[in-house]
Amino acid sequence: MSVLSSTQAVTDWSRRYFGPWWNAVEVAPESVCAAPLVVADVDAQRYADAALAVTQAPHTSTTYARAHTLVARDDTEGVITAVSPDEALAYRSEPATGRMAILGCDTEPVATAAARLAREAMRGVLLRSGWSLLHASAVALDGRVVLAFGSKGAGKTTSAMTLAARHGWELLANDRVFVRVNATGDVDVLPWPSAAALGLGLLDALGWFDVARERLEAGESLHPTQDQRVTDALAAGHREPLWDGKRELKAQVFPDQFPAWFGLDLATGGQAAALVFPRIEPGATPAVEEAGRKLGAGDFMSGKTEDRYPDVFELARVDGGGVSDARQAVVECLARLPHHAVVLGHDLAANADFLVKVAAG
């Protein structure tokens, strides 16, 4: 997977995601020959020409990356073109060759789109190669991976970050992982590079709040998708969880900021060793719960769960969570591993000590 751009900031942005978790490195443009390939440039005139071509062709309307997007198809040429006017982004996808082009007027939207679509293209390669995508957080130690499952707010991120911050486990993924059964019957795990959402309360409990605040005061920034109210709260030293109705507003951390800001090591892979199904209950003493839980269809990502990024550019060309046979093989192999349904409280030190014992058992 390669990202090419005449604007250095665009490729730097992609390296922030893929460098730590997918071992991405800078190479000479002339050495890039294999697909998938994303070419992304900041060029207002070329964007305007591409956008006009889409609007003048027969097209449909959809929402992609939360932006109104017009999509035109040329089945004769095998080309999909699109424009998101509000984002000032134009796209051209050639599914048969694995080539994706992005044009825009401003650097940040182009850089964001390039990283997103490079990841989507790589996801397609992996899914078509028999990998599946699980909705889980993960940490690794000496190649052993503990996977944490649950719905939003269950404690997946808390479990992973606690083990990584307090006991030296490597963070492998915050919210989803690629998995595939290997020739020996074990389940290999790869990270899904993405920004991580951390609540202000969790940042404080991990001892990272002051670090983040100092970095921001020094002129650095977190991910641009972060709500301005979170940035303001960090600047003001407000450590309490921040809510917008029932939705918690969280800091958005770039992958490369975990080692650079918080001293966390990132894992680039491993083999699944145990499954944890956490539940957060204020005031609870960490404990194993009697009610067990098994891996289910809802623990895999799918086209429905990826509705923010529908496969309009045909980069995946399979279900967003992987082909059904591959998912079933993963379910059967993971079923043989230790399963731990646990309740965790708000005492992070107690949670950490408890989770270490669970992971070792």
Domain annotation for the chain: domains and CATH numbers: 2-128 (no CATH), 132-195+254-360 (3.40.50)
Tokens (6 digits) for 183: 């020739």
For residues 202 and 55, give the distance between their C-alpha atoms in angstroms, rounded to a whole number. 46
pLDDT tens sequence across 88-122? 999 999 999 999 999 999 999 999 999 999 999 99
Q: How many residues does the chain have?
A: 361
Which residues lie closer than 8 Å to 139 by C-beta, 6 or more apart?
A: 145, 146, 160, 163, 164, 169, 170, 171, 172, 267
Phi-psi region of 93 (alpha: psi -120 to 50; beta: other; left: phi over 0): beta
What's the predicted TM-score (pTM) here? 0.91
Which residues lie closer than 8 Å to 166 by C-beta, 6 or more apart?
A: 348, 349, 352
Amino acid at position 59, single letter: H
For residues 156 and 162, give the distance between their C-alpha atoms in angstroms, rounded to a whole number. 10
Nearest residue to 112 (alpha-carbon basis) of 46, 9, 13: 13
pLDDT tens sequence across 299-357? 988 766 566 788 899 998 887 677 889 999 999 999 999 999 999 998 888 998 999 98
Burial of 219 (0-12, 13-18, 19+ CB in 10 A): exposed
pLDDT tens sequence across 178-199? 999 999 999 999 999 999 999 9
